Amino acid sequence: MDARHDHPKLVLPPPTYPAVLFVMAWVLDQHLIPPFIDSVSSAPLLGAILVILGLGAAGWAVLRFMRAGTHVEPHKPTLAMVMDGPFRFSRNPIYASFFALFAGVGMIMKLEWTIVFLPILWLCLRLWVIAPEEAFLSSRFGSEYEHYRQKVRRWL
């Protein structure tokens, strides 16, 4: 397979989805509905915990990609399958960390719209990022990926 095409064809880069939805949440919060999270005094603390967990999981996953000698960016050639580290627990630890970061920052900033947008983020990632990546990995790594896919959950 030509190395220039050795990657899934994605609609947009994965971080685009949480970034756009976060901006939308902020705009809606500023202009439409006052926050209801204000009454939950523990929301910023819980948000900080989610941010720390999200950054930790994403960092661990990136280190595993680097150690395997493959690219983190889905638009670059995939050189190896990574099945250790956080990938023992989730086939998508970086995308799972997107949820923790999205919700965590939203809680810290008291943006209730981030909670409303979590299912939309899930749907965007599932349809336009994970589905093409899974199809690509299946064609690239065949039975090795299918065995991994049967053994490890998509999320957690």
Residue 156 resides in a domain: no
Q: At residue 91, does pLDDT exceed 80?
A: yes
- Tallying the residues shown for the chain, one arrives at 156
| Helices and strands (DSSP H and E) totals, the chain | 6, 0
Q: What is the pLDDT of residue 3?
A: 45
Residue 4 resides in a domain: no
Q: What is the pLDDT of residue 23?
A: 95
Residue 67 resides in a domain: yes
Domain extent, residue 71, equals 16-29+41-151
Percent of the chain clearing pLDDT 90 (strictly above): 72
| pLDDT tens-digit readout, 52-64 | 999 999 999 999 9
What CA–CA distance (Å, rounded) separates 114 from 121? Answer: 9
pLDDT tier, 133 (very low <50, low <70, confident <90, very high otherwise): very high
Ramachandran region, residue 28 (left: φ > 0; alpha: ψ -120 to 50; beta: rest): alpha
Q: Which amino acid is at 67?
A: R
Residue 49 resides in a domain: yes
Write down the mean pLDDT value for the chain.
Answer: 90
| pLDDT tens-digit readout, 10-39 | 778 999 999 999 999 999 888 876 555 555
Question: For residue 44, what are its two tokens?
Answer: 């910023």
Mean pLDDT computed over 110-120: 90
Q: What is the pLDDT of residue 115?
A: 87
Domain count, the chain: 1
Q: What is the pLDDT of residue 40?
A: 62
Collapsed DSSP state (helix, strand, coil) of residue 67: helix
Q: What is the pLDDT of residue 5?
A: 53
